[in-house]
Structure 1
Amino acid sequence: MDVTRREFLKTTTTTAALLAGVPGGWAGGVYAADGPEAPKVRIGIIALTDCSSLVMAHELGLFKKYGIESTISKEASWAVIRDRLTIGENQATHLLLGTAYAMTMGLQGSPQKPTIVPLYLNRNGQAITLTKALGDKGLKTPAQIKPLALEAKAKSSPMTFAMTYPPGTHAMWMRYWLASGGIHPDRDVSLITIPPAQMVANMKVGKMDGFCVGEPWNARAIADGIGFTAITTQQLWRDHPEKVLAFTEEFTAKNPKTVRATMRAVVEASQWIDKLENRARMAEVVSQPQYINCPKEIIYGRLLGDYDYGDGRKEKDKYYMTFFDRHANFPLRSHGVWWLSQFRRWGMVKETPDYKGLVERVHRPDIFREVAQEMGVETPREDMKKETLFDGVTFDPAEPEKYAKSFAIHSMA
């Protein structure tokens, strides 16, 4: 049969359009069998720099490359993030590490919804910001702040410190830091919950004396002249775990290929981000209103390790926020054990938790290793390791209950 040039071009155009969304290397294969079971994936994010690997996987077409039709959904708070994952409106999410455990255990207002962490999104890159008024008095450490805190408590007008969600990373960093200087976070001060993007505005109106949050909001407080960085979280715990990519256990069981395809895209985006020459473009993209909604210049500096603390200190920090380097994506199970030890320390669980059982359920290095092997990415051999935080106290994941009970300041009965 003769085909006119117009018919040929029409057919060619239609075919090209059909193949445009097919991941490289899959065209010609059996897409329905080889591809994700549920290709449409809505991914929740919070306006923080550490959502960037999810945003860039979307913007660079990496989700599409692996057969995922992604939608990025910016949410108002970590509670909304939790709820939308729980009810299935979002299938994957940017999440605080501790929230996965709270959801699995049904703690801190979470309905019980088992949740897995097969991949970390980043390490480092958070901070504790104090008001300029405290800095002007030379009060920069919890030990220095303690007399003022106890005086305020005695007057029934306690000092106020903010974090972003009770079981989350920022809450644990703030609690650990305050307690290291003799301040009990549950008895000596008021510890409140504020969504990340609202921290600076609340400090401006005098609602708090300090907060712990991810970037760029610590840098923003300095740019706005209202606060200074007392300590970064990488100074508290070098290469600590931070945000994670999470799925419900139910979704993972039903859609294992979807989960792994999503992970591949995020790992590839993480590799791209950790080439520092790409971070200017990344800052420009994630600064947009639909993502972080913050001037790119405020985001960019700390991404390079350029730290202006806002109190005269400036330094080049080589332990800036990482997304791939130094096994940043690998979900070490010992981190889950540490988290549960802090739930125990602060009375979030009343009895000894099932450390082993819970960690094996939530932390899933086995899934990460499968994806990493397919991508040629090296992974650590062990799932557990000892850690020493800034106060010199060593955490041994083999003895979490002993560790939890070793602190003079705690909220255990």
Structure 2
Amino acid sequence: MNTTLSDALAWVAGSDAPEKNALDMGFMALTDCAPLVVAATQGFAQPYGLSLNLKRQSSWANLRDKLVSGELDAAHSLYGLIYAVQLGISGNTATDMAVLMGLNQNGQSINLSRALQDANVTTPEALDRRVHQSRTKLTFAQTFPTGNHAMWLYYWLASQGIHPLNDVNSVVVPPSQMVAHLQAGRIDGFCVGEPWCASAVHQGLGFTLATTQAIWPDHPEKVLACTREFVEQNPNTARALVMAVLEASRFIEQNQENRRSTAQLLSGREYLDTPATCIEPRLLGDYEDGLGNQWHDHHAVRFHHGGEVNMPYLSDGMWFMTQFRRWGLLREDPDYLAVAHQVQQLDLYAQAATALGIAVPSSAMRSSHLIDGKCWDGSDPAGYARSFTLHALADTAPSRVSR
């Protein structure tokens, strides 16, 4: 650790002492829960007076309900889940939420089945022909109706000329069940995080057609989140939690050996419960797509990158709201910037990062170019949402949200 024990104890003993010491932390069985697992098990939380009790959840809907009810204090969460709860389009009632920090960027994939592979549907062009020439709709799975994987899947399909709501069926499947559903033939493809994409390839059940970093290099992914009430009642605890997880994130990326040891840790029964051989390669950036192609991905999953990953950029949160608007999950434009300011805990993050000597970006907005050539910088979110050709069809979008 870069922070000395005496420095950490000064926080614990002084006026910055955590209001709550034992925290119940939710997570899903995904490689990108790594910062929480490392923080909880490798000595990063204890110097801040925290004990992190990790609670693996069976689905994102289950995690959402426990987070909102207070059964979980904080969680490894989908950006799209947090904003949907904030806006009242997921769950029973709108609840004020808080994004404390980003946990990772990149590292998700879209996989297709072995049946499609055997039918030579192995390129975007072949998939487009299959979708538009067959009377039978393909079924694609994502992990939560407003979640990141739904938005990546929809965005990628639309960029290939495939309407994700009209041309194919979309169903919700928890991450760890994706491979079993693919094997049983209940779905034709999925978008999910690792290690489940690599696991499907490893078992010969299909192939990786696209990575999400090909959709948006260094895109926002999972976040450390809680309710805003938790932050307001426990500001010192929230800051200490961010500091512990920031240190864990930095540790994972210090060298390749730390990534390898993290893969081994994650493989344990209480975490991902899957062989490290399915976790480690893509955690190191080494990809095999199941079609004979191998490459080192320069935009593979990353957890820190000098703090660039962890900054809760306003523009990151706003982007998900533009996609809700695009697909009819929101019928009106929200006040994008105001909502993002409410959710993203910029001041708290800056305090934690500064205390650790981690640079805080000068702007809470960042600019990115996506697969369809569009530039997203957060400057005109309503205009950006209206710029999509499919936006006029948003009334056909399903309003169903998993409960």
Q: TM-score range by the shorter chain?
A: over 0.9
Cα distance, 1:364 vs structure 2 = 2.1
In the other structure, the counterpart of 1:309 is: 289
Between the aligned partners of 1:28 and 1:341, the Cα distance in structure 2 is: 43
Between the aligned partners of 1:317 and 1:132, the Cα distance in structure 2 is: 23
Whether contact under 8 Å (1:141, 1:181) holds in the other structure is no
The AA in structure 2 aligned to 1:368 is: Y
Q: Please, what TM-score do these two structures have when normalized by structure 2?
A: 0.93
Task: Pick the aligned partner of 1:287 from 263, 267, 292.
Answer: 267
CA distance 1:30–1:217, shift in 2 (3 Å): closer
Whether contact under 8 Å (2:9, 2:48) holds in the other structure is no
Whether contact under 8 Å (1:39, 1:68) holds in the other structure is yes
Whether contact under 8 Å (1:120, 1:243) holds in the other structure is yes
Whether contact under 8 Å (2:253, 2:305) holds in the other structure is yes
2:351 aligned with 1:370: yes
Whether contact under 8 Å (2:151, 2:323) holds in the other structure is yes
3-state SS of 2:390 partner: coil
CA distance 1:262–1:204, shift in 2 (3 Å): same
Task: Pick the aligned partner of 2:114 from 123, 132, 136.
Answer: 132
Between the aligned partners of 2:125 and 2:12, the Cα distance in structure 1 is: 63
RMSD: 1.7
Cα distance, 1:379 vs structure 2 = 1.6
In the other structure, the counterpart of 1:4 is: none
Whether contact under 8 Å (1:142, 1:180) holds in the other structure is no
3-state SS of 2:105 partner: coil
Cα distance, 1:151 vs structure 2 = 3.7
2:320 aligned with 1:339: yes
Runs of 4+ residues over 3 Å off in structure 1: 23-34, 140-143
Between the aligned partners of 1:336 and 1:33, the Cα distance in structure 2 is: 32
Between the aligned partners of 1:385 and 1:161, the Cα distance in structure 2 is: 31
Decide which structure has the larger Cα Rg and report it. 1
Deviations along 1:220-248, one digit per CA (max 9) or x if unpaired, are 00111001111111111111000000010
In the other structure, the counterpart of 1:210 is: 189
The AA in structure 2 aligned to 1:175 is: Y
Between the aligned partners of 1:69 and 1:212, the Cα distance in structure 2 is: 33
What is the 5 A alignment of 1:175-186?
175-186=154-165
What is the 5 A alignment of 1:319-358?
319-326=299-306, 327-358=308-339
Between the aligned partners of 1:87 and 1:29, the Cα distance in structure 2 is: 29
In the other structure, the counterpart of 1:408 is: 389
In the other structure, the counterpart of 2:253 is: 274
Whether contact under 8 Å (1:161, 1:211) holds in the other structure is yes
Between the aligned partners of 1:367 and 1:117, the Cα distance in structure 2 is: 10
2:70 aligned with 1:88: yes
3-state SS of 2:106 partner: coil
Unaligned ranges ≥5, structure 1: 1-22
Cα distance, 1:28 vs structure 2 = 8.7
In the other structure, the counterpart of 1:13 is: none
Between the aligned partners of 1:30 and 1:346, the Cα distance in structure 2 is: 46
Cα distance, 1:150 vs structure 2 = 2.9
In the other structure, the counterpart of 1:380 is: 361
In the other structure, the counterpart of 1:226 is: 205
CA distance 1:26–1:341, shift in 2 (3 Å): closer
In the other structure, the counterpart of 2:137 is: 158
Between the aligned partners of 2:116 and 2:290, the Cα distance in structure 1 is: 12
Between the aligned partners of 2:218 and 2:11, the Cα distance in structure 1 is: 41
3-state SS of 1:55 partner: helix
Deviates more, 1:237-246 or 1:364-373: 364-373
Task: Pick the aligned partner of 1:37 from 7, 11, 19.
Answer: 19
2:244 aligned with 1:262: no
Cα distance, 1:33 vs structure 2 = 4.3
2:53 aligned with 1:71: yes
In the other structure, the counterpart of 2:278 is: 298
Between the aligned partners of 1:387 and 1:338, the Cα distance in structure 2 is: 11
Whether contact under 8 Å (1:121, 1:328) holds in the other structure is yes
The AA in structure 1 aligned to 2:143 is: T
Q: Please, what TM-score do these two structures have when normalized by structure 1?
A: 0.90
Cα distance, 1:357 vs structure 2 = 1.2
Cα distance, 1:270 vs structure 2 = 0.4
Cα distance, 1:253 vs structure 2 = 0.2
Whether contact under 8 Å (2:8, 2:47) holds in the other structure is no
3-state SS of 1:62 partner: coil
In the other structure, the counterpart of 2:38 is: 56
Between the aligned partners of 2:372 and 2:270, the Cα distance in structure 1 is: 39
Whether contact under 8 Å (1:143, 1:182) holds in the other structure is no
Whether contact under 8 Å (2:81, 2:90) holds in the other structure is no
The alignment covers a number of residue pairs equal to 388
Whether contact under 8 Å (1:41, 1:68) holds in the other structure is yes
Cα distance, 1:70 vs structure 2 = 1.3
Deviations along 1:167-203, one digit per CA (max 9) or x if unpaired, are 1110000000111111111111110000000000000
Task: Pick the aligned partner of 2:147 from 168, 181, 194.
Answer: 168
Unaligned ranges ≥5, structure 2: 396-403
Deviates more, 1:141-150 or 1:290-299: 141-150
Deviations along 1:339-395, one digit per CA (max 9) or x if unpaired, are 111000000000111111111111222221111111100121011122211221222
